[in-house]
Structure 1
Amino acid sequence: MLAAETRLRLFRAGFATIAATRADRWLAPAAQGLGLILTFHHVRPEAPGPYAPNRLLAITPDFLDRVLATLRRRGFDLIDLDAVPGRLRRPGRRPFAVLTFDDGYRDNLEHARPVLRRHGAPWALFVTADYAAGTGRLWWVELERAIGRLDRVRAPEIGLDLPARGAAQKGAAFAQLYRLLRAGPEERLLAVIARLSGEAGLDPTAITRELCLGWDELRALAEDADVTIGAHTLTHPMLAKHGPETARREIAESRAVIAARLGRVPQHFSYPVGDPTSAGPRDFALAAEAGFSTAVTTRPGHLFAEHAGHLHALPRVSVNGCFQSEAALTALLSGVPFLAWNRGRRLNVA
């Protein structure tokens, strides 16, 4: 937990330094690409409590409003994903921004959509088929809620036995368990969290039905001309941890299921988790093979002309709930933090 808090402090200090030195202005010509794709998850007004390890995935509607106002003020064109390949090949005079929301959460409809409509902003929603069916597992939410109910977290599968009384101990237990489970096979991760959920008296599918939009809601949302529905696999696996046939099925069949359910074929794909440990060149090729026009990762960075040749490995910029500040936002839009993060590289597709 201390390591996580240290990282947060370092990021905040970095954003503050960029703002204080106005590096977001004078370094932007070297750092800012032709545009960027922003990543969102939850949008909800409730403030997180003292124990909220997944708070990085949630921003408030007010901050979403600030994001959109700042984009307009800084001269970004708000475009949809269909327009990205053309803008990479034939850049406009202004930078562009694309708004994407992963997983298919109900709060995107209830709290994000009114803000997006007010700004006339197009947006994309990447849907996990099993979440829409109410049968999938939001395992990171399960883990948070299970630890929230338990006074002790025992995971003999990975040699952990941790106290979990009070917010600090619960946060530390979540951080340690999450790190160790993510580093191993996904089957073990799901099994350990399922057992802890059972001990805590949780129903995983009830959590999914509570938080995610169902097919009927998605069918109505898909009629909105400002909304692009994309695919986010069948079950939300970390694809790189699985064999090629599993990865191919998760990618291709999610496209077919969404097309059958919503009456339109999704043209865009988002890799679950999306970092290099979760999606790599094999998966980029599978997304192209499945017929998607673009596919997005969570590898951080802006978009440059070179990305026109890598449309199935597009980077994104995460709007992180831990950094809902003007300093963080302007730094991210400038591209300056990614000069160091990507060591000066424009492309990160290996």
Structure 2
Amino acid sequence: MVALNPVLAAVLRNTLGRRRGVTGCLFTFHRAARPEDWASLPDRDFYVDIGFLDRLLAYLARHGWSVVTIEEAIRRSAAGDPSKFVNFSIDDCYRDTFELVVPLFRKHGVPVTLFVTTGIPDGTHVMWQAGLEQTVRERDTVVLDGKIVDVASPARKRAVYNAKARAWEGREPLEYAAFCAANAVDTGAVYANHAMTWEMIEAVVDDPHVEIGSHTVHHPHVASLSEEAAFCELERSRLRLEERLDIEVHHFAFPYGRAGDCGPRDFALAGKAGYRSASTTRKGLLTAGADPLHLPRNTLNGRHQQMHHAELHLTGISGLAARVLNRV
């Protein structure tokens, strides 16, 4: 992909801003990894290289972008504030959020929003992605469907991980349990290696660079649930965070977050469950006067780690393309 010329990017931002009352861009991602670990990751799309994130934060500062909380983002949207701003949010919250991400944002002196799946620190969420990835990453062979499968090379690790993740869709906990039994996976060690614990969250809850939000209890496709079950996921996660951390939680992010994962019923439920905002993963820019209960966010992942990829989000081009291609 050809990089956007900085002048062209600025013109596009200004043009879209005048036409649509654009006020900001919300970024999201799930996990972060050190540059030296990148080659060995089977599930690269789930991560952002922490070195790239460091460069992106410096780039935004040089080009006059403010990094703000979700609370401040919706305030600016409501006020029609024309200044350039971004928000960064992390969904789920794993150990690397505590070890890599929060320290990086603290170094840059800017905030980051943590949308916590409360089943992770509570130890009730099945961490099948982390367990599958760790096992494939650490071993030269794994047992799949009763057969010994080679996963010695980085390419084989990625291929096998991706194939099993697709094959398990919709029945991940059961498939993962069978995989762990066949491969003698220590699920307690997986949790210790990957989960962000309550103690870690408590260590950052008073940090002025950290905003805490909710991301359900069990990370379901909310739209697939009954209204009662969906409301329970939204409300219980907020109440759990407030009870454990002694804070008020005002912001929520839908798991998965695309059009099929959350809709008008679910946006209304977020308001009923006590949230001021609810974020999706539908690409686009935050416009003046936008409904805070279905905010757009732009996902950063392992395939898109160049500044021109970020500019495609900052200019709104990626959101426009997604709508044209019906990838929402």
2:124 and 2:189 map into 1 onto residues whose CA distance is: 9
* Residue aligning to 1:225: 208
Measure, in 1, the Cα distance between the counterparts of 2:150 and 2:246. Answer: 47
Among 234, 242, 249, the alignment partner of 1:251 is 234
Instruction: Report what 1:43 is aligned to.
Output: 32
CA drift of 1:234 comes to 1.1
1:63 to 38, 45, 52: 52
Change (3 A) 1:30 1:195: farther
**Given the two structures, how large is their TM-score scaled by the length of structure 1?**
0.82
Separation in 2, partners of 1:290, 1:246: 12
Displacement of 1:66: 1.2
Deviation per CA, 1:182-230: give whole Å up to 9, x if none. Answer: 3xxx3x2221122112212223343233222211221221111221111
Q: 1:130 to 1:163 in 2, by over 3 A?
A: same
- 3-state SS, counterpart of residue 125 of structure 1: strand
Gaps of 5+ in 1: 1-12, 156-160
CA–CA separation in structure 2 for the residues paired with 1:54 and 1:306: 37
Give unpaired runs (5+ residues) of structure 2. none
Residues 219 and 262 in structure 1, CA contact (< 8 A), matched pair in contact too: yes
Partner of 2:144: 153
Inter-partner Cα distance in structure 2 for 1:273 and 1:47: 28
Partner of 1:24: 9
SS of 1:168's partner is helix
For residue 301 of structure 2, what is the aligned residue in structure 1? Answer: 320
8 Å contact 1:43–1:61 — kept in the other structure? Answer: yes
Q: 1:105-152 CA distances to partner (integer Å, 9 max, x unpaired)?
A: 222222222321222201111111121123322222223234454445
Given that residues 41 and 58 in structure 1 are in contact (C-alpha distance below 8 angstroms), is that contact kept between their aligned partners in structure 2? yes
Change (3 A) 1:263 1:22: same
| Fraction of identical pairs, as percent | 30
SS in 1 for 2:4: helix
Question: Is 1:211 the equivalent of 2:194?
Answer: yes
Matches within 5 A, 1:89-100: 89-100=78-89
Question: Which residue of 308, 315, 319 maps to 1:334?
Answer: 315
CA distance in 1, matches of 2:306, 2:203: 33
| TM-score, normalised by the number of residues in structure 2 | 0.87
- Map 1:193-208 onto structure 2 (within 5 A): 193-208=176-191
Which secondary structure state, in structure 2, belongs to the residue aligned with residue 301 of structure 1? Answer: coil
Residue 173 to residue 61, structure 1, CA distance change in 2 (3 Å): closer
Aligned partner of 2:130 in structure 1 is 141
2:143 touches 2:182 (CA, 8 Å); kept in 1?
A: no
Q: Tell me how far apart the structure 2 counterparts of residues 331 and 151 of structure 1 sit (CA, whole Å).
A: 39
Between 310-319 and 330-339, the greater mean CA deviation after superposition:
330-339
Residue 111 of structure 2: aligned partner: 122
Aligned length, in residue pairs: 320
Supply the AA of the counterpart residue of 2:4.
Answer: A
Contact 1:147 1:164 in 2 (8 A): no
Structure 1 position 270 matched with structure 2 position 253? yes
